[in-house]
Amino acid sequence: MLKPIKLASENFLSSLDTSCEEFLHILELAKKFKNKDLNIKLKEKVLGLIFDKSSTRTRVSFQVAMTRLGGTTVDLNPITSQIGRGEPIRDTARVLSRYCDVLAIRTFKQTDLEEYAKWSSKPVINALTDLEHPCQALADFLTIQEEFLDFKDVILTFVGDGNNVANSLILCGALLGLEVRIACPKGYEPSSLVLKKAYEIYKNKNLLKITNDPNTAVLGANVLYTDVWSSMGEENQKDEKEKVFNGFTIDSDLVSKADKDAIILHCLPAYRSKEITDEIFESHKSRIFDQAENRLHAQQALLSCIIQ
């Protein structure tokens, strides 16, 4: 029977905190959990959630995942806890380490997440920062694997802002040796630090392409992926970005240039007629809700590997 392995890295702050083998192992576990072929119980284990950003899928999927594993979840709302009053991260982390077995943190700065990990004696999971969204990427690649069985010859094209989601797709693509294309307007490219790390990992550096032309980026692609143009905390840039991102909507014209069996992904929430048309969102090519469901199974697998 397949069993969770202890990850080499205690924390999951980045997609690069797993090796390729560990990443694939998590996906295999996730499929087993999804098919109800695996029954692992983490009795009396507690997951602490610290969410500085609002959340639907991440919050609910973590809570349900922990419940299915037999553990419990404590939801620490900064507004109703001392976190919101400015208690230092180093104090919060050391106290919660005495109560919880693992912490999942959704915040703005990657450096704040790293500060939690520095002071916590228990594992810390990145539930989203402005730099990366590694838990989302686990679900994304699980969805791709379900569709194409493996990652050989798969081309993933992300159209939109070079944000945290794009950064994690790039790093996972580097781990798996997958061709990743990012199409974004000038000035909205992915993190230069992330690109540097990815190019260091890729054996074939031509597999990572950054372009400002979505039409060439989607040619022959197997997976078309998009996200909102204005992430949380960027609401004041919404009008400006909508002008800049004109032409970066995944619509029937862009989809027609991709592979005939291409699938559509979106990490949600979606703004129909902005980054994706309603027609494409609801089309037979969409795997968006399979992708959303897979957040649960991927995080169940991740938790089973981290809590040992």
Catalytic position from the list 267, 287, 291, 297: 267
* CB 135 within 8 Å of CB 114: no
Reply yes or no on whether 75 is catalytic: no
Catalytic position from the list 133, 266, 287, 297: 133
> Which two structure tokens, joined as six digits, stand for 300?
């169940």
Reply yes or no on whether 153 is catalytic: no
The position carrying tokens 């594992």 is 123
Reply yes or no on whether 82 is catalytic: no
Catalytic position from the list 227, 266, 291, 297: 227
Q: How far apart are the C-alpha atoms of 192 and 215, rounded to whole Å?
A: 23
Q: How far apart are the C-alpha atoms of 251 and 255, rounded to whole Å?
A: 6
Q: What sections of the chain are H helices per DSSP?
A: 20-34, 57-68, 89-99, 110-119, 134-148, 164-176, 192-201, 214-217, 238-244, 252-257, 278-281, 288-306
**Cα–chain center distance at 144:** 13
Using the 8-state DSSP alphabet, how is residue 189 labeled? P
Reply yes or no on whether 85 is catalytic: no
Reply yes or no on whether 133 is catalytic: yes
- Comparing CA positions, the residue from 61, 227, 257, 24 lying closest to residue 144 is 24
Reply yes or no on whether 57 is catalytic: no
Catalytic position from the list 57, 68, 287, 295: 295
Catalytic position from the list 136, 145, 299, 300: 136
Catalytic position from the list 25, 57, 68, 106: 106
Q: Strand 124-126's sheet: what is its strand order?
A: 72-76, 46-51, 102-106, 124-126
Catalytic positions are: 106, 133, 136, 227, 267, 295
